Amino acid sequence: MPRTVAPLTKDIIGLAGLFITSGTTHLVKPEVFDPLVPDVLPRRREIIIASGVAELACAAGLLHPRTRRYAGLASAALLVAILPGNVQMSANHGKRAQRKGTPQAQAAFAGTLARLPLQLPLIRTALRAAGRR
């Protein structure tokens, strides 16, 4: 039985918007993401550019009904793949907050920690776009 195409809902549009914003930033200001790439990975700048292109491709795919299912699966995989970068960002901000001890550094660290569990609803949205529950 063929799967039906997931409707283009506000959450899928929002996910596509996040990917467009982030993907564009990856390409225009890749240096912003340098500290987020774990040190163990080689060719860090190429990873940043490739992930930006992947985010833009996922965004475009999510917005079109013929590609939404595949883009949803790719988006979920991409969100899992970039999770180590988000963890690295939190670790970096945590070190900075300890070193500086300022309310701004502590707030930035708290923000990065709060962002980590937000990956789960984004992944759920991507899977819903793929026609999965």
Q: How does pLDDT run along the chain (133 residues), one tens digit per residue?
A: 456 789 999 999 999 999 999 999 999 999 999 888 878 889 999 999 999 999 999 999 999 999 999 999 999 999 999 998 889 889 988 998 989 888 898 998 999 899 899 999 999 999 999 998 6
3-state secondary structure 21-68: HHHHHHHHCHHHHHHHCCCCCCCHHHHHHHHHHHHHHHHHHHHCCCCH
